[in-house]
Amino acid sequence: MGPRMSAEERREMAIKAAMAEFARGGYDGTSTAAIAERVGVSQPYMFRLFPTKRALFLAAIDRCFVDIEDLLRDAAGGRRGTAATAEMAEAYRRILKEDPHLLRFQLQIYAAAVGDEEIGRIGHARWARLWRLVADVSGAEPAEVTRFMSVGMLVNVLTAFQVPYVPGTALPESLRDWAEGLRGAAPDAVDTEGER
């Protein structure tokens, strides 16, 4: 039997488990019992770590942004300018492929923020912090930081819809070619004729 985990270690496990469970079911569709089961603790113990499901969700939101900030900072690795933003963009694309929970959870955060003022305020503050981080780490001008953040959101959409694309300067042409290749195609890949 291994060494006993501290409450802080269990808390960290709970946050990671919450990110994965909330990514799949959203706030309303996720139970604390499912999160507790993933962590390997009882639901009452989970409530000792986090007094409410909402507290756990807010902690998971914070961790999501911290993880993205750490990823971008580490990827820049002291580089400046386009060398920094190119490395940050590559690291972000890679993590979206390696950890699908990250994108799913981000999308759940955005969806929750639409109808929840507190989550909206948290997102507002965290996006400002993320924007500043990209600017500070890269030294990029506001227009370049805005482009970087915009392309990052576009990459979220492309990844969610499994759109093939070529990153970097070839991105616009690769998206044009993809969109043109679907001209005239049915709006969905599912045969809905039989459902009527």
| Interval 77-98: pLDDT, tens | 999 999 999 999 999 999 999 9
Q: What's the start-to-end Cα distance of the chain, in Å? A: 59
pTM of structure: 0.87
pLDDT at 191: 47
48, pLDDT greater than 60: yes
pLDDT at 47: 92
pLDDT at 7: 78
pLDDT at 189: 56
Band (pLDDT 50/70/90 cuts) for residue 2 is low
**163 CA to centre of own chain:** 17
Segment 182-192, tens digit of pLDDT: 988 877 654 44
